Amino acid sequence: MPASPSSPSPRRLLGAPAVRALLLQLAAFPLTLAVIYLLATGGLTVSYWHVALVQGLLAAGLTWWRGLAIWWRAIQFGFPLALLATSTLAIPPLAFLVIFVFLLLLYWSTYRTQVPYYPSGRKVWEAVDAALPQGRALRVIDIGSGIGGLVLALQRRRANASIEGIELAPLPWLASFVRAKLARSPAVFIRGDYEQLDLGDYDAVFAYLSPAAMTALWRKAAREMRPGSMLFSYEFIVVGQTPTRVVHPYTGGPALYIWDF
């Protein structure tokens, strides 16, 4: 049965790095006003660029204090300056709305999952197909299936298999769904959160997520996947868990890690 998107708890939502960064940016604003007031009363001429610079420095400092990843400091520092620079351009407001809606549909809950859109590639699909057991029907799922490349490729190669993909972001899911219909493929694409699935229903699970998501994925897989099943992760290792096999689809490129349960 298709999984439905999950509603994160308030604690989990507030714990997402992007949400924490936004809250820290807001927290820096009253401090910025205080600093600018002191500078102005001290006789200094203050411009909007000074305000953006102080805001960026304070937001970056708060981000460092709260222990967010180092790249968030650069983002927090540059955001007010980029916002001010953009405001000086003659860009129609409708353009911002269109871009925002497009990015929202493309990335959806990346702020919470920390899993952006990562395409894999044909050689990765071939490596997964070669590693899967031959001669029997399988049920395989690609979690975070994007626009469906792996799922459609595997379904073409294995007509007797049930190949599925699950994707939370609406735009990639829609693209994969339309591709399957146009190709008349029996591949199934679900719009939902893989956390709502029972991974024990599958013979193999493929993931191309991000380092931030791997620990939670492993815990779920170790809890649910049955003996004889396989977990694939392209590029991202599970810290502390030695893979059964390591394949390099591209010479000098990222590895495909495989765990046999």
As a whole number, mean pLDDT of residues 152-181 equals 92
Residue 148 pLDDT grade (very low, low, confident, very high; cuts 50, 70, 90): very high
pLDDT digits (tens, 9 = 90+) for 195-236: 889 999 999 999 998 887 889 899 999 999 999 999 999 999
In a domain, 207, yes or no: yes
In a domain, 104, yes or no: no
Q: What is the largest CA-CA distance in the chain?
A: 81
Q: Are residues 83 and 148 in the same domain?
A: no
Look at residue 118 in the predicted model and tell me its pLDDT: 63
Residue 155 pLDDT grade (very low, low, confident, very high; cuts 50, 70, 90): very high
Residues recorded for the chain: 261
pLDDT digits (tens, 9 = 90+) for 29-85: 999 999 998 988 888 888 989 999 999 999 999 999 988 778 788 988 998 998 888
Sheet of 256-260: strands edge to edge?
A: 188-191, 162-167, 139-143, 204-207, 230-234, 256-260, 245-247
Mean pLDDT of the chain: 85
Look at residue 181 in the predicted model and tell me its pLDDT: 94
Provide the percentage of residues in the chain whose pLDDT is more than 90. Answer: 49
Range of the domain at 27: 10-90
In a domain, 148, yes or no: yes
Look at residue 1 in the predicted model and tell me its pLDDT: 42
Look at residue 83 in the predicted model and tell me its pLDDT: 85
By CB atoms closer than 10 A (0-12, 13-18, 19+), residue 115 is: buried
The total number of structural domains that make up the chain: 2
Q: Are residues 80 and 143 in the same domain?
A: no
Q: Are residues 60 and 133 in the same domain?
A: no
In a domain, 225, yes or no: yes
Q: Are residues 128 and 255 in the same domain?
A: yes
Residue whose pair of structure tokens reads 């991202």 in the numeric block: 236
Alpha helices in the chain (DSSP H): 10-15, 17-41, 48-65, 70-87, 93-107, 110-113, 122-131, 149-157, 170-183, 211-224
By CB atoms closer than 10 A (0-12, 13-18, 19+), residue 124 is: buried
As a whole number, mean pLDDT of residues 87-106 equals 71
Look at residue 14 in the predicted model and tell me its pLDDT: 56
The tokens describing 83, both together, are: 């916002």
Q: Are residues 85 and 157 in the same domain?
A: no
The tokens describing 165, both together, are: 């993909």
In a domain, 183, yes or no: yes
